[in-house]
Amino acid sequence: MVWTNAIIQGVLLGGLYALFATGLSLSFGVMRLVNLAHGDLAIFAAFMTLSISTSLKINPLVALLIVLPAAFVVGYLLQLIIFDRVVGVDPAFQIVATFGLGIVIQNALLEKYTADTRGLNVGRLKTSTIKVNDTIGIGWLPLLTFITAVVVLSSLALFLKRTKLGRAFRATSDDPDAARLMGIDIKRVFAVAMALAIATVALAGVLFGARSSFDPFVGPARLIYAFEAVIIGGLGSLWGTLAGGVTLGVAQAIGRQINPQWGELFGHFVFLAVLVFRPTGMFGKVQSR
C-alpha cells in the first residue's frame, strides 16, 4: 500500500514535470532551440506571482490572470530580441546566450528577494486531500496540477493539428526554408512558439511554487527534470512528454520510498538508461541533434 501510494504521488508529480517540459519540447520542435533559462523563467514567474498576490492581497492562482499574459509577452519579446539571433548559428552561442540569461535571472532574483525560501499561499487547496484509505490520499493540488498538464497538452496538440497557425508551426518544424517560401512569417511563428513555451512554463512554475518552497536557485533543477521528461518521452511527441514526465515522477517516488536521498538519483538513472538503451525515447520520432 505504501508503494501504491508512492506510485500515485509519482504519477501526479509527473504531471507537473510534463508541464515544465511542454515549452522545452515545443521550442525544440519548432525552432531547434533549447532554452537553458527555461527553469529560471518558471521560478521568475513564481516570484512575480508572489509579489502580485501579496501586494494586491489576492490568491496566487488568481494572480495567474496577470502573470500568464505577461509571460506570453515576455516569451514573444525574448525570441525577437535575443533568441532569434542564435537560431541556426553555432550552438555554442545559443547555449551561452540562454545559459547567461539563466544566471542573470537567478542573481537578479537573489538581489531582489534574497536567498530565503518562499512559498505561494494558495489557502486550503494546499492541504485538502481526497482520502482513499488509510495510506492513500490524493492531494487536490497535485491532482489539479496533473489535470492542468493534460488540458494544456491536449489544447496544444489540437492547436497544432487544427488551426492555421498550428499548421504553420508544423511546416516550419519540418522545413523552415520551404515554409518561408510558402509565405509563412517564420519570425512570427518562432515568437509565438516561444511565447507559448514561456507561458506554459510560467504556469508550471506557479503550480510548483504552490506545492513546494522555492528560492532563486531552484530553476536549473526544473530545467533538468523537464529535459529528462522530454528525452524519456521522445523528442517531437507531445504525448511522449507526458509519458516521460510521469515515468520520471514515478522513478523519483520509488527511489525516495527506498531511501529519501535516492529520489533524484533514481530519476537520473532512468534518464541515463533511456539514453543508453533507447535514445529515441518512448514515443520519439526524431533523433536529438
Binding site for another protein (CB under 8 A): 33-34, 36, 82, 85-86, 90-97, 99-101, 103-104, 106-108, 110-111, 217, 220, 223-224, 227-228, 231, 261, 264-265, 268-269, 271-272, 275-276, 279, 288-289
> CB 231 → another protein: shortest distance, Å?
8
Contact between 65 and 224 under an 8 Å Cβ cutoff? The reply is no
3-state class (DSSP) for residue 130? strand
> CB 36 → another protein: shortest distance, Å?
7
Residues facing 214 on adjacent strands: 118
- In the block, which residue shows the cell 495510506? 135
| 60 vs 245, beta carbon nearer another protein | 245
| 184 vs 248, beta carbon nearer another protein | 248
| 22 vs 145, beta carbon nearer another protein | 22
> CB 225 → another protein: shortest distance, Å?
9
| 37 vs 68, beta carbon nearer another protein | 37
SS (H, E, C) 63-115: HHHHHHHHHHHHHHHHHHHCHHHHCCCCHHHHHHHHHHHHHHHHHHHHHHHCC
> CB 242 → another protein: shortest distance, Å?
20
User: Which residues, other chains included, contact 54 with Cβ-Cβ below 8 Å and sequence gap of 6+?
Assistant: none
Contact between 27 and 34 under an 8 Å Cβ cutoff? The reply is yes
